[in-house]
Structure 1
Amino acid sequence: MARTGSGALLLSRPNIKLDSFLKRNTERTVYERIRAHEPCVVLSETINKAYMHVILSDERVYLTEYPPRTLTEAVSFRCVRDIELVNDLPDFLHGKNRELCQHIRITYVTDKPAGRGHDWLRRDRKAGLTPAAPPSRRTSHCPTITHTLEGYPAQRSPSELPTLSPTRSASCPDPESLGLFRVPHPPSRPPSTAPSPTSSPTSSLSPSTHRLNFPDTGQVQRGIGSVLSRLLKRDSSSSGEERKAELHLYAVSDTSRLYLHLQSSWNSFIIRSTLSLDPLYRRSCSASSDSCPRKRPPAIRQNSVVTQYSTVTEAASLFMTAVCVCVCSWERTAHLFGQLSCELLQEGISVESLYLLLQELRTAAHRDITLRRLFWRSSELFVFLVQTLEESLHGCQSLSGVCTADQLLLSTLIVQTLAVMFRETEVEPARLNLLSAKKGALASRMLLASMCDAELQTQNQSSLVDCERQALLAEYLDAACSLLFELLLLGHDASRSSSADNFLSVGWILGVLQPHPQMLSFIGYQVQQVVLVLSDLQESFLSPLQSVLLFQRCRLLLACLQYNNQLAQHLRSHFREEFRYFVKLSCAEEKLPPHYPISQPTLQLVEQILTLHLHR
């Protein structure tokens, strides 16, 4: 959620009372990661059409009464299986509210038994609690629904308040945050248990881990061992008894953005949680000073001469040190970010210094969402990155037709930095203003600059230099796909927006890219990678990074099939046989480990792509 310099929530319809309530009733780490809130009519197994505040963080959906009194966790994104808009007219709404309502259905899994009652409001009233009075229209910032609701939730005693589980960042999840159960330190893990941080992503799937063997210490009675065995069996069986449940949110406004925020938060969560299963990614995103040593930058090649250096500019050093120890206030972060921006924007900066500063900026942006928001509040750095990408990637192609290793390295870093800046910043108003300015001029430049010919022009494909450049090109194409994925999320936001000013839709984005002479080559490479991963040609499990890339590529291909007729026709005419004979849903199920949060959404995308690609 966008915030002002002091950290207060910045909304189109500010609600000071709710903001104050959240500050008092949540830990600072939770409050700082609240992204949006909106009043809705809520319907679930335990709530029957109550008008409540829906509060969205980057990991969970919370509910509180209207006006707020208690905060309840409704659902964690680790349990979500689908978020969709339902095209219906709710019976309990009347008049204009019924026509403007946006019905959002969240499908999730739970191991809790279905509730007997369906109206916890009535249970509170039976207990003798007085329902809260509806807020007055003078203080309400949302349309009032009259004669359609059964009342407001009553105040609960402290003993009845639900206990919120401790919030933990998705960048370092524990087994509970991944939907897994803990066992009391057996020497080996069952297949459904997530790997330890020191193990490989597929080590938990080894056939040797099908049996739990407890050591015989000789000091523990045999009865205790049998009890533990029964408990483990019971936990294992109960973990498999998950059932699907639904949470229905009715936003009574035609300008509601709750659905868009939910989709974006869910996408961000499953990507973060999956990547965090990779130990290298976890270490790179660790925010402790012990895990943030000064790294020697990679070699930058100039005219085939390797130049290495270890000096660090003062601004970059101060900035990264502050981010690592996590003590930056908003003002301090803004000051240090300004210093780093000045270093980047100085005239005559060398390629080596530029590369190092961008590396510092990208790493810091991974760790601090404040920096990502600050990035969009000034156009200078964004314009500079787009211009540098144009010169580095396309300037060389127009002159000699060949990109050097240095140019590919720099272009990849720029694209990766831009992709990071889009992550979880959809609620920052400055981002949309900057991208939509002058009819999307900057957005168009970024889209076109990111396109690259996937067929590397070389003189000798077998030479070591050309093989190295081919690997660097593949790395760039992966990064460009991730950036385009972020832009498509922005496009889905605009596609469902009723504002005429928000024209950056998925159709508009693909319309800008479709005439580009290298677009078909770029899309062809992404298709080839999907076919390679989802065929029998590769038998190994996918790593977390490979799974995320597959998810992003599938979203890109699905968008082409759904929103651009020319690209859809190209995919069907050139890759029909590959999808018919090589891409198999069963292969995807085998290669995507079930404990990856991104596996199930990816399988749904693959199924949609096969349906659109083969049955039209």
Structure 2
Amino acid sequence: MARTGSGVLLCRRNIRLDSFLKRNTERTVYERIRAYEPCVVISETVNKVYMHVVLSDERVYLAEYPPRTLTTAVTFRRVRDIELVNDLPDFLSGKDRERCQHIRITYVTEKPAAKGRDWLRRDGRAGLPPVSPQSRRNSHYPTITHTSEGYPALSEEVTEEVHVSKPTRSASCPNSETLGLLKVPHPPTQPPSTPPSLYSPASSPTSPLSPSDHRLDWKTEPGQVPRRIGSVLSRLLRRDCVDSREEKEAELHLYAVSQTSRLYFHLQSSWNSYIIRSTLLLDPLYRRRCSALSDSSPGKQLPAISWERTAHLFGQLSSELLEDGISMESLYLLLQELRTAAHRNIALRRVFWRSSEVCVFLVQTLEESLHGCQSLSGVYTADQLLLSTLIVQTLAVMFRETEVEPARLNLLSAKKGALASSMLLALICNPEIQTQNQGSPIDCELQALLSEYLDAACSLLFELLLLGYEASRCSSADNFLSVGWILRVLQPHPHLLSLIGYQAQQVVQVLSDPQESVLSPVQSVLLFQRCRLLLACLQYNSQLGQHLRAHFREEFRYFVKLSCAEEKLPAHYPISQPTLRRVEQILNLILHR
């Protein structure tokens, strides 16, 4: 899938479906549709129906064939796993049966809380208000409906027909630009009640007691429950309501009848992007960085910048960056502006890859800054580390959600991957810093700056590995940027083993440190990225895998426990479960091979 500057789909374009999506979705949603493919769909309410699968940043949609309505099949908030199944479906025959790609999406649904309060009301306890009819109407009950063409629309969490006209906040990704909202083709139905934001204190059923909860207040009116007892009852009531909404697993099966289908990669990539973005958005500082709100008009969003305006502004910034004799201070400030704008504007990230000059300039500047002076003096300076960290962070942001931009792959694979090779080798540095004054305040500052750089380097390596996973699953001979190729490029670097060892040591330290009770959203995302990096080394490069087993087997055996990892990764972080699965995979590969 690719788009022109205006967002029109180019590769494998279905004109009828594309026209339908453009007419019936908001512009911000249409421009962020990543891919669509025809598939045979099997779910709890759809059985072997040939449909369009439409993929956006937050949801998997289904549309009839030909398209008449658009329904939500599953939201990435509910997804637990996406995997390829090696089987031959019985309902297909001939070549279709042999070349079919079976994708299984495992997700969770939520049972309605129908009996959450009955146990209290049966005893006739005072002070507990009855459930009003309005609250019943607002309850989150899944329903099964049928479209006018006879296709069953899936249940509220499985597939709901989308007729929402006003943007609402997503519980785990409060970014209005990523919501899957449609224009209203006819009068809207009443939307389901929105759960509280995950980072809101009110959403936690186990929030700590307030000071008043620890005091008994006997000055109550007749028939009222004392404050102490009331607080206990309210906690029990909340716990009972949570228990009554037990989650159950469900599956969505997509059968792509094409050997060249890239739907699986797009699903994995979109899911990774979603869990990273929605987890980071739980961090207040990251939310402010990505916010597109005007300081002069609190609560009002700035109008969307057109593609043409974005390209013009990027051109102006690029010309300033590429000026001869630019000072380090000016360069740093311009890169800060570029990074902040890229966080907020996905169109800017796509424009970035369509102009090779800035990317090449950043890679060359990184190489000169991090390795030029250091190779002569043997030490890093604070200015070197600050500028190098900003460059690597900027490059990592540019990779986010730009998988469908063909210019990115063309640029990185040109001249047999010359730019990709330069980027990989430029970001590797010696994690063991050398200073003349060990233990001094300057030394501590440099250690902190180096740690920040190594975190950024891990994030960029993670993005490059995602690019490699796409190539590894692609049958095209032109796409050689596989995970194995990336690791082979890095293997001769003298500091690679030290860097990989540092990343492994950080995983061990984070998961075994008793003082680090709960990881922050940013720490959780970094742990996920480090685990993916270690898994790539263990699965795709024998030398790196052998190094990790030889030097870190005992650390992982005695200090890394899944039970401890579960305590450190809050359950409401979207990235927690995928990270736990990666930790389990690493333990199996290091300890049992």
TM over 0.5: yes
* 1:172 alignment partner in structure 2: 174
Deviation per CA, 1:236-289: give whole Å up to 9, x if none.
Answer: 2233x1000000000011111100010011001111111111111111111011
* 1:208 alignment partner in structure 2: 209
Q: CA contact under 8 A between 2:99 and 2:258: conserved in structure 1? A: yes
Offset of residue 32 of structure 1: 2.2
Q: Find the partner of 1:494 among 471, 481, 488.
A: 471
Q: CA contact under 8 A between 1:593 and 1:599: conserved in structure 2? A: yes
Seen in structure 2, the aligned counterparts of structure 1 residues 23 and 436 have a Cα distance that, compared at 3 Å, is: same
What amino acid is aligned across from residue 394 of structure 2 in structure 1?
Answer: T
2:37, 2:536 → 1: CA distance? 29
Seen in structure 2, the aligned counterparts of structure 1 residues 341 and 266 have a Cα distance that, compared at 3 Å, is: same
Offset of residue 161 of structure 1: 7.6
2:311, 2:466 → 1: CA distance? 27
Q: CA contact under 8 A between 2:71 and 2:153: conserved in structure 1? A: no
Seen in structure 2, the aligned counterparts of structure 1 residues 195 and 397 have a Cα distance that, compared at 3 Å, is: same
* 2:270 alignment partner in structure 1: 265
Offset of residue 609 of structure 1: 0.3
Offset of residue 596 of structure 1: 0.6
2:45, 2:369 → 1: CA distance? 57
* 2:54 alignment partner in structure 1: 55
Seen in structure 2, the aligned counterparts of structure 1 residues 216 and 357 have a Cα distance that, compared at 3 Å, is: farther
* 2:377 alignment partner in structure 1: 400
Secondary structure, in 3 states, of the residue corresponding to 1:534?
A: helix
2:41, 2:390 → 1: CA distance? 44
* 1:144 alignment partner in structure 2: none
1:52, 1:216 → 2: CA distance? 64
* 2:198 alignment partner in structure 1: 194
* 1:368 alignment partner in structure 2: 345
1:487, 1:406 → 2: CA distance? 26
Secondary structure, in 3 states, of the residue corresponding to 1:78?
A: coil
What amino acid is aligned across from residue 267 of structure 1 in structure 2?
Answer: N
Q: CA contact under 8 A between 1:130 and 1:155: conserved in structure 2? A: no
* 2:241 alignment partner in structure 1: 235
The answer as to 2:546 corresponding to 1:569 is: yes
Secondary structure, in 3 states, of the residue corresponding to 1:453?
A: coil
1:8, 1:370 → 2: CA distance? 13
* 1:348 alignment partner in structure 2: 325
* 2:293 alignment partner in structure 1: 288
Q: CA contact under 8 A between 2:205 and 2:235: conserved in structure 1? A: no
1:428, 1:292 → 2: CA distance? 33
**Higher mean Cα deviation, 282-291 or 519-528?**
282-291
2:210, 2:193 → 1: CA distance? 16
Seen in structure 2, the aligned counterparts of structure 1 residues 524 and 4 have a Cα distance that, compared at 3 Å, is: same
Offset of residue 452 of structure 1: 0.7
Offset of residue 14 of structure 1: 1.0
Offset of residue 466 of structure 1: 1.1
The answer as to 2:228 corresponding to 1:251 is: no
* 1:464 alignment partner in structure 2: 441
Identical counterparts, % of pairs: 75
* 1:554 alignment partner in structure 2: 531
Secondary structure, in 3 states, of the residue corresponding to 2:476?
A: coil
1:372, 1:404 → 2: CA distance? 30
Deviation per CA, 1:379-399: give whole Å up to 9, x if none.
Answer: 111100000000000102211
* 2:494 alignment partner in structure 1: 517
What amino acid is aligned across from residue 545 of structure 1 in structure 2?
Answer: V
2:21, 2:194 → 1: CA distance? 30
1:217, 1:63 → 2: CA distance? 58
Offset of residue 6 of structure 1: 2.4
1:268, 1:110 → 2: CA distance? 21
1:217, 1:161 → 2: CA distance? 50
* 2:100 alignment partner in structure 1: 101
Deviation per CA, 1:401-446: give whole Å up to 9, x if none.
Answer: 1111001000000000000000010110011111111111110000
Secondary structure, in 3 states, of the residue corresponding to 1:50?
A: strand
Q: Find the partner of 2:388 among 389, 411, 415.
A: 411
2:218, 2:76 → 1: CA distance? 40
**Matched ranges for 1:288-307 at <5 A:** 288-290=293-295
1:459, 1:204 → 2: CA distance? 52
Q: CA contact under 8 A between 2:111 and 2:244: conserved in structure 1? A: no
1:575, 1:58 → 2: CA distance? 37
Q: CA contact under 8 A between 2:521 and 2:573: conserved in structure 1? A: yes
1:478, 1:62 → 2: CA distance? 35
Seen in structure 2, the aligned counterparts of structure 1 residues 389 and 14 have a Cα distance that, compared at 3 Å, is: same
Q: CA contact under 8 A between 2:153 and 2:160: conserved in structure 1? A: no
TM normalised by structure 1 equals 0.80
* 1:307 alignment partner in structure 2: none
Seen in structure 2, the aligned counterparts of structure 1 residues 351 and 46 have a Cα distance that, compared at 3 Å, is: same
What amino acid is aligned across from residue 332 of structure 2 in structure 1?
Answer: Y
Gaps of 5+ in 1: 114-119, 132-152, 184-192, 294-322
1:526, 1:498 → 2: CA distance? 31
Seen in structure 2, the aligned counterparts of structure 1 residues 164 and 237 have a Cα distance that, compared at 3 Å, is: farther
2:264, 2:451 → 1: CA distance? 34
* 2:136 alignment partner in structure 1: none
Q: CA contact under 8 A between 2:425 and 2:493: conserved in structure 1? A: yes
* 1:304 alignment partner in structure 2: none
Q: CA contact under 8 A between 1:72 and 1:164: conserved in structure 2? A: no
2:562, 2:419 → 1: CA distance? 39
* 1:476 alignment partner in structure 2: 453
Q: CA contact under 8 A between 2:46 and 2:152: conserved in structure 1? A: no
Q: Find the partner of 1:278 among 279, 283, 294.
A: 283
What amino acid is aligned across from residue 66 of structure 1 in structure 2?
Answer: Y
* 1:532 alignment partner in structure 2: 509
Offset of residue 514 of structure 1: 1.5
Seen in structure 2, the aligned counterparts of structure 1 residues 458 and 155 have a Cα distance that, compared at 3 Å, is: closer
TM normalised by structure 2 equals 0.83
Matched pairs, number:
535
**Matched ranges for 1:144-159 at <5 A:** 153=151
